Chains A and B, each alone.
Chain A
Amino acid sequence: MAVTTVSTVEEKPKYKVVGTRPIRHDGLEKVTGQARYSADINLPGMLHGKVLRSPHAHAVIKSIDTSRALALPGVEAVMTSADLPQPSGRVADLGEGAMMNPKFLSNNTLASGKALYKGHAVAAVAAVSQHVAEEALSLIDVEYEVLPPVLNALDAMKEGAPILHERLFTADNPFVRPGGLRDDADPEGGSNVASRFVFEMGDLEKGFAEADVVVEREFRTKAVHQGYIEPHSATAMWNRDGHVTIWCSSQGQFAMRDQSALILDIPLSQIKVIPLEIGGGFGGKTLVYLEPVAAWLSKKTGRPVKVSMSRQEVFEGTGPTSGSFMKVKMGATKDGRITATTASLIYEAGAFPGSPINPGVQCMFGPYDIANGRVEGYDVVINTQKTAAYRAPGAPAAAYAAESVIDELAEKLNIDPIDFRVRNVAKEGTRRLTGPVFPKIGHLETLEAAKNHPHWNAPLEGPNRGRGIAAGFWFNGSGPSSATASVSQDGTVILVEGSPDIGGTRAAVAMQMAEVLGIPAEDVHPSVGDTDSIGFTSTTGGSSVAFKTGWASYEAAQDIKGQMIERVAYIWDVSAEDVELTHGVFHHKSDPELRFTFKELAGLLLETGGPIVGRAAVNPEGVGSAIAVHIADVEVDPETGKTEVLRYTALQDVGKAVHPSYVEGQIQGGAVQGIGWALNEEYFFDEEGRMTNSSFLDYRMPTSLDLPMIDTVLVEVPNPGHPFGVRGVGEVPIVPPMAAIANAIKAATGVRMTNLPMSPGEVLKSLWDDEEGKNAG
């Protein structure tokens, strides 16, 4: 793998641990199969749960008769939504800014009144074995009144379209809580448009009048799944005292606790969630699906209950990201300055409101300095799976549209596409279309790294080959986070953190502690605490963990350092101000004879005042946004329409790479997911709304055999808002690939691809349309 690290820091801080590549702390357990994932839990007397799912995309549930299922020997309990309290439709704050409509959350877990997509959970059973449970599902009699489904946003917005939620109103303002229901007394009918909002800046008329070239395009993308390798599974034990323990893998044990408490209508203090290893999430494991079901079944039976999904259930019963329809118009002067842009984004939310339209709109033109712009967004419900977050949610589709139009402008103006982007680059102080100005970001540095990269400058020869480039932007996130750490007598440190580890964050968090204490990364032993063992920590999402939990770890280490300096001062009978810690050695500032290594002091703690425990709870600001620039070389077979990726380079402003190997891994993983989204992946529905490709055989994700090695370039523009300059890195690499490949296909074929995925059939259709003069590209 060719990896180039570029630093814009004139004098690099001399870190001992941060920036190195130690073996991951959880590596041995994972490669030897000893790590425990959600389905690995087995408890004495455990029952097995199964979920009955709607065969219809849109249907009234007229009745559910569970008597035959309950009569089957071995069946211990059957539940429907009637067993759950029905919360109000008023959007609730689940804590720390996570908002959700409890009714929708509950009704997505088990349908109430209507089934809103094929695969929607309708009932659940607990039985002595999976086989009995499966048989019991066939004995549950559900009477449906099948309704016509609406399967895309444009149809759902038409007059007379089937309405999913009769009481849903359109929040036509971002300052109205989205996803709300009308009061019962309100005579207005429902809408499929859950929300609509606009951002506007500058003078559009003047901006377009100044343009020498204007490009206007429409784009469509399909729903795609995160494709995590581990299906959902939850095991619950409801004790007689009313306390329930839930074992599951998720992106946030506290989110699982809080959502389950809401659905079950019990105090969150009665729920303990034990996080297990997570076999991928990418945003898709931020919502409960099975946890409240397993908990209720356990309550009913008095026994532990495990419920696990099959791959088909994952595809049909959990949230992909949105399909979309987008219009973009952009103008530029002859010298390559963007003068104005407008965009309209319609995102499909699935069965319940909550597509990632907000971040899509806010990220769309993030990388650029555009004085005059207007972007509007629509969140539209349709009869498909309720969408969930997926890696930089909302941004990839928006970037696909924006970066395709930018590429077309550069081409029409005969300006190198990197130079065109440089002329319009957003940098520190640039005002975003949504209002705020940027702090320090590294878009210019990343573009310059691309311009100077051997890939960009290498000749690309041969027929039907083309090179494309695209940029992407993601805010990055933060949130509350907690860490505690105790010093062991052998000089190691036991670190408990609140963030589930998806992308190697145990290592990244532990390394920041090790850096402060001057000890090897291997001497910090990180683990992820359950909800009773660690302070509240917000979900692993938004590329936030290396930043926020790294910061908590940094502060906990500072706490330890301070206490140990006090202890040294006590032992030496000197002032603590005269003691300092340098590279893992405590020493007296003026007496070189007085020194303790970290290990030596650790061995003395119990007899000199007791153990030392560091703690930190933070909610840090100063998140540094992320920028990525990708270069793709492709070859398109004009006979079959198949696109082969010949070479791919992903460059990214990573702030400071704590563990460069994991940063590279994140970038490669994000790029590959984006390439799959670009070329292969889509939810394919029949006319009745049934997904027809709900297996990995038919839902084609790229494998290592399909792609070349993804080269990575880490551009280090340190984030001034973090002690080590850390920026989140995990999400933004999925943002540019669709546009980079579309731009490469344009270069290869002369045809502008405006629909995703750019599958062989879609490419052939575009080529043929172009031959017939239908494609204006």
Chain B
Amino acid sequence: MPRVFIPTMLQPLTEGVQEVEFEAANVRQVVQGLEERFPGIGQWLVEDGRIKPNLAVAIDGETTSMGLLAKVGPDSEVHFIPAIAGGGE
């Protein structure tokens, strides 16, 4: 099952739980699974049906550009982290 990591500053919503595992095939299902376990957490991650623009989702160490549609594998790690804007060359 995918491992979903709870960001430090959302852990008050999970009573300190740092990591959960549950079945999910994409990020949308990850968010739904989090919301089922920790009601209210979804509003911190999703807005207007999309991952908040200031957030990034990293799956297996790689930031995905697919948002809620991104596929999650059975052994994947999923992280929600602040998005990074680049600086230029």
Contact = CB atoms under 8 A, between A and B. Distances in A.
A197 B89 contact: no
Given A197-B9, A478-B65, A623-B63, A98 B85 contact: yes
B82 A358 contact: yes
B63 A99 contact: no
Contacts of B45: 175
A622 B62 contact: yes
Contacts of A437: 60-61, 77
A208 to B, nearest CB: 18
Given A99-B53, A621-B65, A721-B62, A477 B86 contact: yes
Interface residues of A, number: 65
B7 A666 contact: no
A146 B65 CA distance: 46
B87 interface: yes
A177 B87 contact: no
A389 B89 contact: no
Given A437-B61, A621-B65, A622-B62, A174 B82 contact: yes
A436 B77 CA distance: 8
Interface in A259-308: 281-286
A392 interface: yes
A283 B89 CA distance: 7
Given A174-B7, A436-B61, A389 B77 contact: no
Interface stretch (A25-33, A484-492, A542-550, A766-774): A542-550
Nearest to B83: A97
B64 A621 contact: yes
A304 to B, nearest CB: 28
A472 interface: no
B84 A358 contact: yes
A544 B86 contact: yes
Contact of B88 (A197, A359, A362, A541): A541
B81 A391 contact: no
Interface string A383-426: 00000011111000000000000000000000000000000000
B9 A173 contact: yes
B17 to A, nearest CB: 14
6 contacts: A174-B54, A175-B80, A436-B77, A437-B77, A541-B85, A541-B87
Contacts of B84: 358-359, 362, 475, 477, 542
B46 to A, nearest CB: 10
B89 A545 contact: yes
Contact of B81 (A390, A436, A545): A436
Given A175-B44, A438-B61, 15 more contacts: A97-B53, A173-B9, A174-B54, A174-B55, A197-B82, A281-B89, A356-B87, A358-B84, A390-B88, A437-B60, A540-B88, A621-B64, A623-B62, A721-B62, A728-B89
Interface residues of B, number: 31
A175 B9 contact: yes
Given A99-B53, A173-B44, A542 B82 contact: no
Contacts of B61: 436-439
Interface string A301-339: 000000000000000000000000000000000000000
Contacts of B63: 478, 621, 623
A251 interface: yes
Please name the 4 residue pairs, one residue from A and one from B, whose CB atoms are nearest each other, closest first: A542-B86, A730-B89, A283-B87, A541-B86
Interface of B: 5, 7-10, 44-45, 52-56, 58, 60-65, 77, 79-89
Contacts of B54: 91, 99, 174, 177-178
Interface in A430-449: 434-439
A259 B64 CA distance: 24
A390 B87 CA distance: 5
A544 B63 CA distance: 14
A476 B80 CA distance: 18
A93 interface: yes
Contacts of B81: 174, 362, 434-436
Contacts of B87: 282-283, 356, 389-393, 541-542, 731
B58 A200 contact: no
A220 B77 CA distance: 36
Interface string A168-212: 000011111110000000000000000001111000000000000
Nearest to A100: B53
Nearest to B67: A97
Interface in A14-50: none
A621 B85 CA distance: 15
A619 B8 contact: no
A477 B85 CA distance: 8
A283 B85 CA distance: 10
Contacts of A475: 84
A265 B74 CA distance: 45
Nearest to A476: B86
Given A199-B8, A358-B82, A436-B77, A666 B89 contact: yes
Contacts of B7: 174-175, 199, 435
Contact of B55 (A175, A226, A284, A435): A175
A283 B82 contact: no
B13 to A, nearest CB: 10
A22 B62 CA distance: 33
Interface string A712-724: 0000000001000
B89 A731 contact: yes
B74 to A, nearest CB: 17
Interface in A492-544: 502-503, 505, 539-544
A97 B82 CA distance: 11
A174 B9 contact: yes
Interface in A350-405: 356, 358-359, 362, 389-393
